[in-house]
Structure 1
Amino acid sequence: MQIKTITCHDVNNYGASLQAYALQCFLQRNGYEVEIIDYLPIYKSDRLNFFEYNRTSGKLFTILKYVPFLKPLVGLYDHLKVPGHITDYKFIGRKKPFNLFKRNHLKCSNLTYRTLEDLQKNLPLADVYIAGSDQIWNSVGFNGRDSSYYCAFAPKNTKCISYAASFGASYIPQDQSEFVSKQLSRFYAISTRERSGVEIVEKLGYNATEVLDPVFLLDKDDWERLCSDEHKKEKYILVYDLDMNHPGVKQLCLGLAKKNNWKIYSINDFRECPYADYNINNAGPIEFIEWIRDAQYVVCTSFHGTAFSIFFHKQFYTFPLYHGKNHARMVDFLHKMNLDNHFVKEQIELSNLKAIDFEIVDKLLAYYRQNSKQWLLTKLKDLADSHE
């Protein structure tokens, strides 16, 4: 049976790349022919591609049809006029390892699609379509307002399921309820990454099951095999604060560093960490795993930073994005792992830190992992049987 998945897979984001790989790998191991639809909508165009021109309409678009050699300059202007993008040049080194990861580890469609119309005109044929994980249904942003991520391109006689799709937040905007409800109606089976996602789906009148993020369809050894055998020798705290502005993250990192005589290393996405001893601006998905693997301690505002800390049995604390509201996925996951006290909203004193008993966590993870695998494989077997 041929499966095609659609997800956020090529956006220079660690979790997005790794979850896409994990779902692909798990399905392949279970005998399915799998391909990721290379869907890269304009609004997700690579922010590190300084010379890409993304407009598809307007007077300037029309003019540039006749003078296409000016497109790179206009693209650069469009890029630099966005607040904060002027500092993106610091992170240009991330492009190469992300591109290599896609090329070497993701099996993507030959065609790249930018719009729903592109998908409909050159339909990527499959027996089953899977709307994958990550925040593909986050309707606070663009993803959840894009019907492509709800498999709107799929022919009516082709079944669609979702695996660990995420709404990103614990709610959807009121003005999007009708749209989301209509999109969900085409799914044969729905699973979400968070309990809050199940509740959203049920409020819209559908059934849903909570499953683990795709990275947990693989195990530690699978991820270890991607990594280099060389380990970092210096002892460090790894901080992964997406916005670099959470005072609780800073307080904990500085306190741990002083107490243990550890360095602070920061792995960065959009800005550098002002209090880090070393800023890592050029890491790709594999390097992201390696930096977590070799850390003494991890402090993050990231779901996948949390996930890989658990894989490699790293003591960690997870914070929400400062003033952010999209932390349901971290809260729900840590609750399942009996690690509620390792999610801190504001600050935590060193005297209140609790060591994680990973023997307990591993047992809980094994239970939820088995349930997640069984849900996905059962739904696919049901669909395969219906084709016979």
Structure 2
Amino acid sequence: MQGDTKLKVGILTFHRTTNYGAVLQTYALQKTILDLGYDVKVIDYNNEEIYSYCDYRVLYGKLPLKTRVGKIIRYSHNKKIAKTFNKFRNKWIDLSVECNTNAQLQSVEDGYDAIICGSDQVWNPLAIHFDFDAFLLSGVKGKRISYAASAGNITLWEKYLKKYWICLHRFDSISVRESEMIQPVENLSEKKVRLVLDPTLLLNKKEWEKLEEPLGNEIEKDNYILVYYLGKNRALTDTVKKLQKQTGLPVVLLGRQIEGIKSISVPAGPSQFLSLFHHAKFVITSSFHGTVFSILYHKPFLVFGNGNYNSRMNTLLSALKLQSRMIDNESANLERINKVVDWGQVDSLHKALKEKSINFLIEALR
């Protein structure tokens, strides 16, 4: 059904969250399917329990005053960022009509020939707030496809195996993002499960550059250390301090301030996020998508482990022979970030994996 038949495809994922990776992977999957010749929209499913980012306990809860003030400041900062995300979605993502309940979702899904669930942690019970019917495509009448689905930590499935078993059996085509998910999903679904790339890796550098927006005047291009981290990490912090001292470069921070490090904190939207990676001298990150864009933009980078969520980074780094860029618990020897990467080899491996991933979509939508 490729090309001239205009199969109608809906994508169900985490497009509304204020998270760089979630929004950019949504755009990338939509563009990839559109480029294959299909009529595609992102289903605007708005489950407020999943997407609510305003915690009213910040304003009204019984928290210490200092804690509340800090949270209010961060909330104000986050609201500014949220506006830039809305701007990006309105400009670059083609949405269906909004639906807020499972009944409304099913009604919208009935208008599509195929629904693709993914990417991101669409099979993580906690991330989807136990909304299994939506993200396991229970009500879908057309083709049911998963693309690069992730569960975060697969052990979270243990209490809900029966639900996953029932729903996964109904899928027409299944692909996942992490290698450790293949066997459990094959056991439950009794279907062949393919390992594919995160959608952000289906686009090349030039395609991402088209979405970039300029950085502020306070940031000198190609002359800063970009730090994008999730959660506290002493080894990461120590490495940033060492690299800043060695190079004398300013630190540009995506995330909370790091104690003891003078930095520029940027309220960046997705387009500025891309520019920050494009023009960084070095990247230090604990984020999967921070890793992805360091690779796509060919940046000297180090990745620091992020607890139970290392699987996706390990899968990617191993596939591209970049395992040496992963740091576990120790402060990094700075020789590792300066070690020359064979980007020709990386690009060749990436190209082969990209072809396999796109072929999965072609076959699934046929």
Note whether the superposition's TM-score is higher than 0.5.
yes
Distance in 1 of aligned mates of 2:335 and 2:118: 41
Structure 1 position 352, deviation (Å): 4.7
Counterpart check, 1:9 vs 2:15: yes
Q: Which of 129, 149, 156 is matched with 1:172 structurally?
A: 156
Structure 1 position 229, deviation (Å): 6.3
Distance in 1 of aligned mates of 2:104 and 2:118: 19
Counterpart check, 1:237 vs 2:213: no
Name the SS for the 2:90 alignment partner: helix
| Distance of aligned partners of 1:201 and 1:291 in 2 relative to their CA distance in 1, 3 Å threshold | same
| Distance of aligned partners of 1:276 and 1:152 in 2 relative to their CA distance in 1, 3 Å threshold | farther
1:55 counterpart residue number: none
Structure 1 position 378, deviation (Å): 1.9
2:145 counterpart residue number: 161
Name the SS for the 2:173 alignment partner: coil
* Letter aligned with residue 114 of structure 1: N
Q: TM-score, normalised by structure 1?
A: 0.84
Distance in 1 of aligned mates of 2:131 and 2:192: 21
2:300 counterpart residue number: 315
Distance in 1 of aligned mates of 2:239 and 2:201: 28
After superposition, the C-alpha distances for 1:150-192 in whole angstroms (9 at most, x for unaligned) are: 112212xx11111111111243331122211212112100001
| Distance of aligned partners of 1:121 and 1:227 in 2 relative to their CA distance in 1, 3 Å threshold | closer
Distance in 2 of aligned mates of 1:349 and 1:181: 46
Q: Which of 323, 330, 340 is matched with 1:355 structurally?
A: 340
1:202 counterpart residue number: 186
Q: Which of 283, 287, 305 is matched with 1:302 structurally?
A: 287
Decide whether the 8 Å contact of 1:273 with 1:279 is kept in 2. no
Distance in 2 of aligned mates of 1:79 and 1:143: 24
1:96 counterpart residue number: 83
Counterpart check, 1:343 vs 2:326: yes
2:116 counterpart residue number: 130
Unaligned stretches of 5+ residues in structure 2: 1-6
* Letter aligned with residue 239 of structure 1: V
Q: Identity over the aligned pairs, expressed in percent?
A: 30
Name the SS for the 2:85 alignment partner: helix
| Distance of aligned partners of 1:247 and 1:230 in 2 relative to their CA distance in 1, 3 Å threshold | closer
1:274 counterpart residue number: 259
- Alignment map for 1:114-125 (pairs within 5 Å): 114-121=100-107, 123-125=109-111
After superposition, the C-alpha distances for 1:191-250 in whole angstroms (9 at most, x for unaligned) are: 01111121221232332000000112211110011113679525211111111x101111
Q: TM-score, normalised by structure 2?
A: 0.88
Name the SS for the 1:35 alignment partner: strand
2:3 counterpart residue number: none
Q: Which of 245, 248, 252 is matched with 1:261 structurally?
A: 248
Distance in 2 of aligned mates of 1:82 and 1:337: 48
* Letter aligned with residue 61 of structure 2: K
Distance in 2 of aligned mates of 1:166 and 1:335: 17
Distance in 1 of aligned mates of 2:360 and 2:249: 43
Distance in 2 of aligned mates of 1:119 and 1:300: 36
What is the count of residue pairs matched by the alignment? 347
Structure 1 position 91, deviation (Å): 2.1
1:151 counterpart residue number: 137
1:139 counterpart residue number: 125
Decide whether the 8 Å contact of 1:129 with 1:161 is kept in 2. yes
Structure 1 position 122, deviation (Å): 5.1
Counterpart check, 1:81 vs 2:61: yes
Distance in 2 of aligned mates of 1:12 and 1:38: 15
| Distance of aligned partners of 1:275 and 1:25 in 2 relative to their CA distance in 1, 3 Å threshold | farther
Q: Which of 23, 28, 37 is matched with 2:34 structurally?
A: 28
| Distance of aligned partners of 1:80 and 1:295 in 2 relative to their CA distance in 1, 3 Å threshold | farther
1:45 counterpart residue number: 51
Distance in 2 of aligned mates of 1:81 and 1:91: 19
Q: Which of 336, 360, 363 is matched with 1:375 structurally?
A: 360
Name the SS for the 1:379 alignment partner: helix
| Distance of aligned partners of 1:121 and 1:376 in 2 relative to their CA distance in 1, 3 Å threshold | closer
Decide whether the 8 Å contact of 1:11 with 1:45 is kept in 2. yes
| Distance of aligned partners of 1:275 and 1:144 in 2 relative to their CA distance in 1, 3 Å threshold | farther
Distance in 2 of aligned mates of 1:349 and 1:39: 45
* Letter aligned with residue 8 of structure 2: Q
Decide whether the 8 Å contact of 1:169 with 1:327 is kept in 2. no
Name the SS for the 1:138 alignment partner: coil
Kindly report the root-mean-square deviation, in angstroms, between the aligned alpha carbons of the 2 structures: 2.2
Name the SS for the 2:280 alignment partner: coil
Decide whether the 8 Å contact of 1:129 with 1:159 is kept in 2. yes
Decide whether the 8 Å contact of 2:225 with 2:281 is kept in 1. yes
1:53 counterpart residue number: none
